[in-house]
A = this chain, B = another copy of it.
Amino acid sequence: MYSFANDYSEGACLQIMEELIKVNFQQSAGYGLDEYCLKAEEMIREEIGQPQADVHFITGGTPCNVLAISAILKPYEAVISADTGHINTHETGAVEATGHKILTAPNDDGKLRPEDIRRICDAHTDEHMVKPAMVFVSDSTEIGTIYTKAELKAIREICDEYGLMLYLDGARLGCALTANNNDLTLKDIAEMADMFYIGGTKNGALLGEAMVIVNDSLKENFRFYIKQRCSMLAKGRIVGVSFCTFFNNGLYYKLAKHANRMANALAYVFRKHGIKLYGNSTTNQIFPILENSLIEELRKDYVFLDWGAYDDNHTIVRFVTSWNTPVKEIIGFYDYFNKLMENRTK
**Contact residues of A with B, CB < 8 Å?**
2-3, 5-6, 8-12, 17, 20-21, 23-31, 59-63, 66, 70-71, 74-76, 78, 89-94, 96-102, 127-131, 201-202, 206-207, 221, 223-235, 237-238, 324
Measured between alpha carbons, how far is A214 from B39 in the docked complex, in Å? 43
Measured between alpha carbons, how far is A72 from B318 in the docked complex, in Å? 36
Which residue in chain B gives the minimum CB-CB distance to A2?
Answer: B27
B91 touches A11 (CB 8 A): no
A101 to chain B: which residues have CB within 8 Å? 93, 96, 102
A89 touches B129 (CB 8 A): yes
Which of B24, B28, B70, B96 contacts A100 (CB under 8 A)? Answer: B96
Measured between alpha carbons, how far is A131 from B102 in the docked complex, in Å? 17
A230 touches B227 (CB 8 A): no
Which residue in chain B gives the minimum CB-CB distance to A125?
Answer: B306
A127 to chain B: which residues have CB within 8 Å? 92, 221, 223-224, 226-227
**What's the nearest-Cβ distance from chain B to residue A241, in Å?**
9
B130 touches A93 (CB 8 A): yes
B128 touches A92 (CB 8 A): yes
A66 to chain B: which residues have CB within 8 Å? 230
A128 to chain B: which residues have CB within 8 Å? 31, 90-92, 227
B59 touches A59 (CB 8 A): yes
A3-B27, A233-B207 given; A228·B9 CB < 8 A: no
A12 touches B27 (CB 8 A): no
A59-B59, A66-B230, A78-B93 given; A207·B235 CB < 8 A: yes
A-B contact pairs, 6 of them (CB 8 A): A5-B29, A11-B235, A17-B24, A93-B101, A93-B130, A94-B228
Measured between alpha carbons, how far is A79 from B17 in the docked complex, in Å? 41
Measured between alpha carbons, how far is A59 from B63 in the docked complex, in Å? 12
Which residue in chain B gives the minimum CB-CB distance to A241?
Answer: B11
A226 to chain B: which residues have CB within 8 Å? 127
A17 to chain B: which residues have CB within 8 Å? 20-21, 24
Which of B12, B60, B224, B233 contacts A131 (CB under 8 A)? Answer: B224
Measured between alpha carbons, how far is A9 from B20 in the docked complex, in Å? 13
